[in-house]
A = this chain, B = another copy of it.
Amino acid sequence: MAQVIQDQPAEHAVGDLTDELTAYMERKGLRSTSQRRLVSEVFFSAEGHYSIDEVLAMARAKDPKVGYATVYRTMKLLVACGLANERQFGDTVTRFEIARHDSHHDHLICIECKRIVEFEDDEIEAQQEALAKRYGFRLVSHKHELYGVCPACRDK
């Protein structure tokens, strides 16, 4: 059998993301290199919010020779083709997450352990729209981050 039907489909099928990237690169005349394949693969496989350094570390685990600039440029490429989002949380480092086209989500961040929980709240989204309209703004995007202490850290 060529395709395995999974009982519990992964949140993001790594293959689908890779296909989208490949299509984008072909369309733009960009080259498929071993580094781009490696970096995108480790990023697509790892669910989370990673800094360049973290993606670099994951990539170097499989190929110690990859350079920082390559990871940097590959992440920019993923952002450009809409497969990754760039985020800045409390600190100064830029983090990347896999972009989901279907749903908007925001973040709940533990200020103790830095854990990041994603949430989706349609009511808040709707109220944001209403609020923007009230001020005459055409809403393009938003950033909504809640900082607090997570259950695990509260009990310590």
Q: Write the residues of chain A forming the contact surface with B, with a CB cutoff of 8 angstroms.
A: 88, 108, 110-111, 117, 119, 121, 123-124, 127-128, 131-132, 135-151, 154
Q: Which of B121, B128, B154 contacts A146 (CB 8 A)?
A: B128
Residue of B nearest to A89 (CB): B143
Question: Is A150 touching B137 in the complex (CB atoms < 8 A)?
Answer: yes
A-B contact pairs, 12 of them (CB 8 A): A108-B135, A111-B140, A117-B135, A119-B131, A124-B127, A128-B146, A137-B149, A138-B149, A139-B148, A140-B149, A143-B147, A144-B144
**Smallest CB separation, A123 vs chain B (Å):** 6
- Docked Cα-Cα span, A154 to B139, in Å, equals 11
* Chain B hits for A139, CB < 8 A: 146-148
- Docked Cα-Cα span, A140 to B145, in Å, equals 11
